[in-house]
Amino acid sequence: MNATTNNHDHERKDVDVRALFTVAFLLLLSCVAIFIVITLMMHYFKVHEPGVTAGQANIPLTRARDFPHPRLVIKPGASLAELRAAEDSDLNSYGWV
């Protein structure tokens, strides 16, 4: 048999409570700092926002005539046949060779 045996037993040391509370406190402190910075930024932006655009959404105006009408295919088979004929003429012509 194997002469060396591995002793598997429980951990001898508990969790480091001081380090755990330090990390939790630093996380809480950083959350408070972020909240204060964002609050100050929002107050700054509210004060310095021009009065003309205050309360208006920055959405560009669009009109129905600006959009093109949909291009509907009336006879899909006919346009496909025209495409295939144009491809065949290009492939079989002198310019391709």
Tens digits of residue pLDDT in 43-77 = 998 888 766 566 666 666 766 666 777 788 777 77
Angle, CA of 61, 63 and 64, to the nearest 5°: 150
Which pLDDT score, from 0 to 100, does residue 38 have?
97
User: Looking at the 3D structure of the chain, how many domains does it have?
Assistant: 1
Which pLDDT score, from 0 to 100, does residue 30 have?
98
Instruction: Classify residue 62: in a domain, yes or no.
Output: no
d(CA 27, CA 33): 10
Instruction: Classify residue 65: in a domain, yes or no.
Output: no
Q: Which residue has the higher pLDDT, 61 or 15?
A: 15
Instruction: Classify residue 60: in a domain, yes or no.
Output: no
Residue 38 lies in domain: 17-55+70-92
Q: For the whole prediction, is pTM greater than 0.85?
A: no
